[in-house]
Structure 1
Amino acid sequence: MNQVPPPPSELTLAATANAVAWARRHTIDVLQHWRFPVEGIEVARLLVSELATNAIQHAHPPASTTARYAGDAAIGTIVLKLWPTARGVLVAVSDPDPRLPTPQTSDSYATGGRGLLLTQTMANRWGYYPEPSPPGKTVWAEIPTQPKNEITSPVGGGPGITALVMGQVLTALREL
């Protein structure tokens, strides 16, 4: 008997401060419904948080392409998509900025710039592609059903600090 995979999920959000929390909540709800393993849900929650945060920073279209009404500032949108795959789940976040993502180097005291580094570490693979119409880009990551060993092994920063713990701390700080 063949099982039909669940359909992809898509959620469009206004690019506002609370969109990241809604993206995380939606991801958890969908993956729980799909019976995705708890460890994989935690990794997906962290990576959706990072990708959505980056997308929101780039979601406001340039003024030249936005019709503005008296007193109204343009609010961009981001789109979160989730697809089940044979190896896990694919998460993708789209925004209207055509500039492609570039991993940043940050010092240990920086408060940002680690999103793509965490994505590279925690995902099976990741990438991006331009969106031709409307212009923009989509950044995607494939999250494994079980986290990779390297994200549960200690990293620089002290004993017991893993990439997963570091991601959880960064996400918790954003939720404050």
Structure 2
Amino acid sequence: MTLADTLNAVSWARRHTVDVLSRWQVPPDFVETARLLVSELTTNAIRHAEPTEEPSSHSPLAEVGTVGLMLWLDTPRLVLQVQDHDPRPPVVKSAGQDAENGRGLFLVDCMSARWGFYYPTPGLKAVWAELSLVPDTGRHPPAGPRGDQVPPLTVARALVGLRAT
């Protein structure tokens, strides 16, 4: 799915993800996690996207670029991928518990089985996250990028914020 790099693209990406994963009969708990991860990946892509070509100055889309969303199911794993035109690699940042932003990739790192990025073509970056669709029987708090425990309040705030949108 190709989306304009505008703020409403995040909600469209979430809706598309829920619709596709529901049709694929992915269990609801995994759909909710995928929805959060797609939201974070798309938000990052939009914040850092650059237009791919120079549109006419008379066009209402003169400042709009694109980001891409791809989902694929390879049971027992689900891969979520967002593409943008920012050449810089994604970086997990440390954000305080009261920070209002800056923890998108931290959540991706904590809630996915693994994630990464690559450059499929010159000028295009793809950031992906993989979810294991096998339920975790020994529930334990997820570890952060340096092995530290993710504060439950951080994850709870992200989920509450996502449900409100």
Aligned residue in 1 for 2:158: 167
Q: d(CA) in 1 for partners of 2:77 and 2:121?
A: 28
Q: d(CA) in 1 for partners of 2:24 and 2:91?
A: 32
Q: Is the 8 A contact 1:127 1:141 kept in 2?
A: yes
Aligned residue in 2 for 1:75: 64
Matching residue's letter, 1:66? E
Aligned residue in 1 for 2:28: 38
Percent identity reads 42
Q: RMSD value over aligned CA atoms?
A: 2.5
Aligned residue in 2 for 1:85: 74
Aligned residue among 36, 42, 47 for 1:57: 47
Q: d(CA) in 1 for partners of 2:98 and 2:19?
A: 34
Aligned residue-pair number: 157
Q: d(CA) in 2 for partners of 1:151 and 1:12?
A: 35
Aligned residue in 2 for 1:116: 105
Aligned residue among 125, 132, 142 for 2:114: 125
Deviation at 1:88? 2.3
Structure 2 CA distance for partners of 1:74 and 1:147, relative to 1, 3 Å? farther
Deviation at 1:96? 1.1
Residues 121-158 of structure 1, C-alpha deviation per residue, up to 9 Å, x if partnerless?
1111100002324x120000011225653458x9536x
Q: d(CA) in 1 for partners of 2:140 and 2:40?
A: 19
Q: Is the 8 A contact 1:55 1:95 kept in 2?
A: yes
Residues 74-127 of structure 1, C-alpha deviation per residue, up to 9 Å, x if partnerless?
201111000102322100000111111011111222111111111111111100
Matching residue's letter, 1:156? P
TM-score, normalized by length of structure 1?
0.78
Q: Is the 8 A contact 2:72 2:80 kept in 1?
A: yes
Q: Is the 8 A contact 1:93 1:140 kept in 2?
A: yes
Structure 2: give runs of 5+ residues left out of the alignment.
143-148
Q: d(CA) in 1 for partners of 2:103 and 2:116?
A: 16
Structure 1: give runs of 5+ residues left out of the alignment.
1-10
Matching residue's letter, 2:132? P
Q: Is the 8 A contact 2:113 2:129 kept in 1?
A: yes
Q: Is the 8 A contact 1:37 1:146 kept in 2?
A: no
Q: Is the 8 A contact 1:92 1:139 kept in 2?
A: yes
Is residue 99 from structure 1 mapped to residue 94 from structure 2 by the alignment?
Answer: no
Q: Is the 8 A contact 2:112 2:129 kept in 1?
A: yes
Moved over 6 A (4+): none
Q: d(CA) in 1 for partners of 2:154 and 2:57?
A: 48
